[in-house]
Amino acid sequence: MFEWLDSELLIDQLIELLLVYDVKGHILYANKTASEKLEYARGELEECNIKEVFRQEFSDIKGTDFFDTGRLESGKELSIYRKNKSCFPTKISVYPAETEGTYLLLAEDISVPRELNAQLHSAKEEEKENIKRQNEFTANVTHELRTPVNGIRGHVMSMMEKIQDEELKKTLDIILYCCNNMSEIINNILDFSKMEAGKFTIEEKEFDFYKMMDRVIATHSNEINKKGLRLKVDVNDRIPGMLIGDELRLVQILNNLLSNAVKFTMVGYISIFADVTMHVNDEVELFFIVKDTGIGISAQEQDKLFQSFSQVDASITRRFGGTGLGLAVTKQLVELMHGNIFVESEKGKGSSFSFSIKLKTGQEDTEDKRSEVFAAWSEYTDTEDADATEDFLQFGEEANCRELKKRMDKLVLSIELGAWDKAEILASTIKALVVQGDGDIKKQVLRMEMAIRKSNYDKSMEMYQNVREMLSEQMAF
Ligand code: ADP
């Protein structure tokens, strides 16, 4: 930009804040140290006036145009202001720059002794370098891990096609499930380290919004059905059919939120809502809500939710698994798509995750699949069930007892029919339902689940009777 600033790299290494301004005080250039110490994004200071940065020195000047260059003199000790209006003391040196009518100002932070300042600066640079190296290492390792996991998955899938033995099929199913889990964890770590290393990019490609939503819904509806939950879909058909953006990453955001919703909900429903909140020229802002009637998250826990490796409760990790990276990655993806993510939740009642993203509109599709997709979703739209919307089921409450009874009956039926996989899911749902209850019931349900896993009818039935008796003492069965 300025010829005399022949090496921007060198200037960025300066421990002093460097600002170049004109006769009206407009900042024309700020080095990296200035942006970092004053907590502005790079390039943002160039939209400010130097009067804002040394606001105390110019506090008596009200007009916007008037600027007295003489007030900034070499040797003066002035408070310099950060973007958040906090300040620290500096000693300034001012020189006329080569371009006429411009000045170069160096501000030395004198809040800490000079030597310490230099040490701090180099320690920070070193730390940044280390983090970058670590992230690159993690990105490389996780990338390498993907290949063997995909190899195992591929082989297991082809074995599953050939094998008839039910027992063996069940084992392969578990291996496949583990592979999928491992892939998800690896992908999350890979994405996260790429984001931290600043190497993550968002694609801009045309995609069919309704087809994408249909695939997302299909991915989760099976598991939702298996758990005996209800699914509600409310997608506004004002959303344009063809959009331009990163389809895969949008799917990843929705999948993360939906799989959490399914994972942490034992009774009630999961709902997906999508609408357009802005449409200007070829830009649209979409708004999504993923809501559940699950275990909920307390107010303090919500603060930590979007931080990396944060799971709100260690016992939850043991019970449900996971790395605590999903939401951290989700938040960064949403922000890369120029949006925001919010959570509203109440412990024991349910959670609602909402987010916005900005996309571009594509060419109108002649073969619009909207009506087909809406017809397929009609089974998920609210009808007379709407009254149950806010009906959150709690342990010990009458509605919950009814639900539990229904499930216990379904469990017996599944065992009698030999549908062991269904019985296993039902048993874990019951375990989650009674999880707040007394320890003995939990133990009994766990034993029942183990008996079911071993496909042991007699043991399962015996345990079932025990659980039922214990529950009937506690609840009005
Ligand atoms: P993980 O990949 O381990 O699930 P996430 O970042 O997706 O990690 O979630 C972090 C934690 O936030 C979860 O372990 C859980 O404690 C909590 N959480 C996320 N979504 C929900 C939800 N819908 N209901 C209840 N708790 C949730």
Taking only the tens place, the pLDDT of each residue in 374-424 is: 888 877 876 544 444 344 344 456 666 677 777 788 788 888 877 777 787
Q: Which amino acid is at 446?
A: L
Q: How far is it, in rounded angstroms, from Cα 451 to Cα 138? A: 41
Measured in angstroms, how far is the CA atom of residue 249 from the centroid of ligand 1? 19
* 3-state SS class at 78: strand
Ligand 1 centroid, distance to 313 Cα (angstroms): 9
Q: What is the structure's pLDDT at 389?
A: 38
Six-digit token pair at 121? 């600066």
- Cα–Cα distance measured from residue 210 to residue 89, given in angstroms and rounded to the nearest whole number: 57
Tokens 């310099």 map to which residue?
Answer: 80
* Ligand 1 within 6 A of CB of 260: yes
Site to substitute for ligand 1 among 183, 229, 260, most atoms within 8 A of C-beta:
260
What CA–CA distance (Å, rounded) separates 273 from 290? 7
Residues 6+ apart with CB under 8 A from 120: 112
> Is the four-CA dihedral 412, 408, 442, 422 of positive or negative sign?
positive
- Specify the pLDDT at position 343: 92
DSSP 313-348: -HHHHHHH---S-HHHHHHHHHHHTT--EEEEEETT
Taking a C-beta distance cutoff of 8 angstroms, is the pair 393, 399 a contact? yes
Which residue's C-alpha comes closest to atom 7 of ligand 1?
A: 326
Minimum CA distance residue for ligand 1 atom 14: 311
pLDDT value for 310: 52
Nearest to 255 by CA among 180, 364, 318: 180
Q: Is the CB of 269 under 6 A from ligand 1?
A: no
Query: Could you tell me the two tokens for 144?
Result: 């390498």
By most ligand atoms within 8 Å of CB, the mutation choice from 291, 311, 352 for ligand 1 is 311
Of all protein residues, the one whose alpha carbon is nearest to atom 23 of ligand 1 is: 261
pLDDT value for 351: 92
Select from 437, 344, 352, 449 the least CA-distant residue to 394.
437
348 lines ligand 1 (CB under 6 A): no
Please report the atom of ligand 1 found closest to the CA of residue 305.
12
From the CA of 292, give the closest atom in ligand 1: 23
Report the 10 Å Cβ neighbour count for 178. 14
Q: Is 324 in the pocket of ligand 1 (CB under 6 A)?
A: yes
**Amino acid identity at 438:** D
Of all helices (H) and strands (E), which one includes residue 81? strand 77-81
Which pair of structure tokens corresponds to residue 137?
């290492």
Which residue, 103, 120, 102, 99, is CA-closest to 111? 120
Candidates 71, 324, 60, 288; CA nearest to 188 is: 324
Q: Is 61 in the pocket of ligand 1 (CB under 6 A)?
A: no
Alpha-carbon distance values, 119 to 14, 27, 126, 370 (Å): 13, 28, 10, 61
Q: Which atom of ligand 1 is nearest to the CA of 313?
A: 16
- Which pLDDT belongs to residue 429? 73
Q: What is the pLDDT of residue 147?
A: 86
Q: In this predicted structure, what is the pLDDT of residue 204?
A: 92
Rg (the chain; Cα; Å): 30
Atom 19 in ligand 1: which residue has the minimum CA distance? 260
Centroid of chain to Cα 59? 43
- How many angstroms separate the CA atoms of 392 and 382, rounded? 16
- Low-confidence spans in the chain with pLDDT less than 70: 1-9, 63-65, 114, 308-323, 365-368, 382-401, 432-439, 474-477
Q: Is 264 in the pocket of ligand 1 (CB under 6 A)?
A: yes
Ligand 1 contact, 139 CB (< 6 A): no
Angstrom distance (rounded) from CA 249 to CA 337: 9
Ligand 1 neighbourhood includes 312 CB (under 6 angstroms): yes
Kindly provide the b/e burial profile for residues 357-366, where b requires at least 16 CB atoms within 10 angstroms of the residue's own CB. bebebbeebe
The SS3 of residue 198 is coil
Q: What per-residue confidence (pLDDT) applies to 82?
A: 94
pLDDT value of position 384: 44
Instruction: Tell me what the pLDDT averaged over the chain comes to.
Output: 82
Rama region for 25: left / alpha / beta (φ>0; ψ in -120 to 50; rest):
left
Contact of 277 with 314, CB cutoff 8 Å: no
CA distance 113 to 15: 12
- What is the whole-number distance in angstroms between the Cα of residue 364 and the centre of ligand 1? 37
Answer whether 326 contacts ligand 1 (Cβ < 6 A). yes
**CA-to-CA distance for 390 and 447, rounded, in angstroms?**
33
Model pLDDT, residue 299: 86
> In terms of C-beta density within 10 A (0-12 exposed, 13-18 middle, 19 or more buried), how is residue 71 classed?
middle
Separation of CA 401 and ligand 1 centre (Å): 26
